[in-house]
Amino acid sequence: MGAVATSRKPMVYVVDDDVRLAETVCKVLDKAGYETTPFADGTSAILAINGKPPDLVVLDLMLPGIDGIEVLRRIRQEQPGLAVVMMSGKGTIKTAVESLKLGAFDFLEKPLEANRLRVTVRNALERSLLQRKVSRLQSELEESFRMVGSSPALQQVRDLIRRAAPTSASVLITGESGTGKELVARALHLQSPRAGEPFVALNCAAIPKELIENELFGHEKGAFTGATSPHKGKLHQADKGTLFLDEIGDMSMATQAKLLRFLDNSEIQHLGSSESISLDVRMIAATNKVLPNCIKKGTFREDLFHRLNVVTIEVPPLRKRPEDIELLTTYFLEGYCQRHNRSLALAPGCFEVLRTYDWPGNVRELRNLMERVVVLAQTSPVEPEELPSLIGVELRPEGNGTLRSAVEQAEREAVEAALAKTSGNVTQAARLLGIERPSLHRILKRLGIAAADA
C-alpha cells in the first residue's frame, strides 16, 4: 500500500509481514509524533519508497519474497541517504554486521522494547538530518570553490589537477595574485583520497615572521611567555589531510629549514617539547613570486624549492584567458544577485568591453567589480557606458585606448557582423542585434557605416 504525507511529521515506513507487530510499531511511533505506514512485504515497500521516499524505514529481516537484506541493498542503490533501522526475531550477529555494513543505522531484536524503538528512530532521524546538512554544506563549499571557464589555458590546469590529485606528491602552484591559486589547491584536495580529511590553509604573508613557526608547528604550555595552554599547529591540524601554504615565498628562512626537515621525515616537534610527532600531510604551496629569482637573492632555500616543486601548476592570468570572461562575469553576477536579493543583467556590449581590459587584479578584481555593479546599478540591463561610474574604474583596454573607444569598437564589430550575416538588410540586422530598426539607423549614422557597404 502507498503512503501520502499530509503533515510535516516525519514519515516512517514499517515493513514486516507480521501484521499485528507492524501495527504495534506504528502505534508506538504515532504516539511519539511520527506519521507511519505499514507494508507486509519488501516488493511493495520498495515501490512506495521509490515513489515517495519516507524519512525513515523500520525493516524486518525475514520477509516473504525478497528478504530484508536485499530490500536494504536496493534502498541503498536507489535512496542512499534514507535512514533504515533493521529488526529481527531470528537475527544472528553475522546478519546484524552485514546490515550495518550496508548502511543500516541500528539492528533491533524482537520482541521490541517500545522506549528503545523510540530512541533509535529519533537518533536515526537526527543523524540523517545532520548528514543532509553536511552534504548540502559540502555541495555549497564545492560550488564556492568551483573553477569557472572553458579556455584551453584553464583546461590544461584542470588536466594537471586530474593527474596530480590522486597522489600524495607535493604541488607548487604559481601565478599572479588573484588568479585563483587556492581554488586549484582545494580542487587537488577534493579530488584526492584525502577529500574527507582536513584541508588547512595558512597564508605565510599574513602572519609576522616571528609568529609563523608557532602557527605552523604549534607549542606546549609554557613554551614562551603567554603560552598558557598547548596549541596544535597547522601541520598537526592537517594530519591525514592537506596543508596549503599560500604565499610561501614570504616564509622566513628559519621556518623554511624546519619545514624542509618535516618534508624529509614527516615529523614535527612542538615548541617547548623534545618529543617527535609523526604526521601524514599532503603539502601544497603557492606563490606569486618567481622562486628561482628568490633563490638567487638568498631569500628562499633551493633545496626546499626542489622538495616542493614535484608538480608545478601555473595558473594563467585572466588576460590570457579572455574566452572565460563572459562565463566568469555571468557566474559572479548571478551569485551576487542572489546574495543581495537583486535581479540584474548586463547588456551584451559590456562583455565586449570587459574582454578588452587587461585585468591586473585578475579573477579577484572581476569578482569584486561585479559585486559593486550588483550593489550600485539602478537600471537593468547595465549599458557599457555605465560601467566606469558603477565600478569606479576606468576600464582601459590593453594599449592606450579609452572606454569610449573600446565600446565603439565593440559596437562597430557587432553591427558589421550582423549586417554581413543579413547581406546589408537593416531590418534583419536589427532583429539579430535585439534592437529596433530606428535605433540601428542612428547607430549606423553615428559610426559612419553604410548598410550597402557592409
pLDDT mean over 265-272: 86
Q: Which is nearest to 327 in space by CA: 357, 360, 361, 366?
A: 366
Determine the pLDDT at residue 402.
52
Verify cis geometry, omega within 30 degrees of 0, for the bond prior to 64. no
DSSP state of 310: T
- Take residue 252 and report the three cell numbers written for it: 622566513
Mean of the pLDDT values across residues 184-209? 92
Mean pLDDT of 62-66: 89
How much of the chain exceeds pLDDT 90, in percent?
Answer: 54
pLDDT band at 6 (very low <50, low <70, confident <90, very high): very low
**Separation between Cα atoms, residue 213 and residue 339, nearest integer Å:** 38
Average pLDDT rounded to a whole number, residues 320-342: 92
Cis bond upstream, residue 381 (ω within 30): yes
pLDDT band for position 143 (cuts 50, 70, 90): low
Instruction: Give the cell for residue 88.
Output: 529481527
More confident call, 12 vs 407: 12
- Beta strands in 294-426, from DSSP E residues, in sequence order: 311-314
Question: Rg of the chain's alpha carbons, rounded to an integer?
Answer: 31
Q: What is the per-residue pLDDT across 359-379, written as a single tens digit (0 to 9) for each?
A: 889 999 999 999 999 999 888
Q: Which pLDDT score, from 0 to 100, does residue 4 have? A: 40
Mean pLDDT over residues 139-156, rounded?
77
Angle between helices 93-101 and 68-78 (to 10 degrees): 10
pLDDT of 386: 83
> Measured between alpha carbons, how far is 312 from 296 in angstroms, rounded to an integer?
20
**58 beta partners:** 14, 85
Which residue type occupies 328?
L
- Average pLDDT of 49-53? 91
Distance, CA of 48 to CA of 50 (rounded, Å): 5
Q: Identify residue 149 by its one-letter amino acid code.
A: G
Residue 378, CA distances (Å) to 199, 345, 385, 403 in order = 40, 11, 14, 20
pLDDT tens sequence across 388-408? 777 776 665 554 455 556 566
Q: Domains in the chain and their CATH numbers?
A: 11-140 (3.40.50.2300), 152-316 (3.40.50.300), 319-399 (1.10.8.60), 405-447 (1.10.10)
Check: CB of residue 315 under 8 Å from CB of residue 174: yes
* pLDDT single digits (tens) 420-431: 888 888 888 888
Using DSSP's 3-state secondary structure scheme, residue 53 falls into coil
Q: What integer pLDDT is reported at residue 396 of this predicted model? A: 57
Q: Which residue has the higher pLDDT, 65 or 284?
A: 284
Check pLDDT > 70 for residue 144.
Answer: no
State yes or no: pLDDT of 286 exceeds 60. Answer: yes
Answer whether residue 1 shows pLDDT above 50. Answer: no
For residue 311, the model assigns a pLDDT of 96
In terms of pLDDT, which residue wins out, 168 or 399? 168
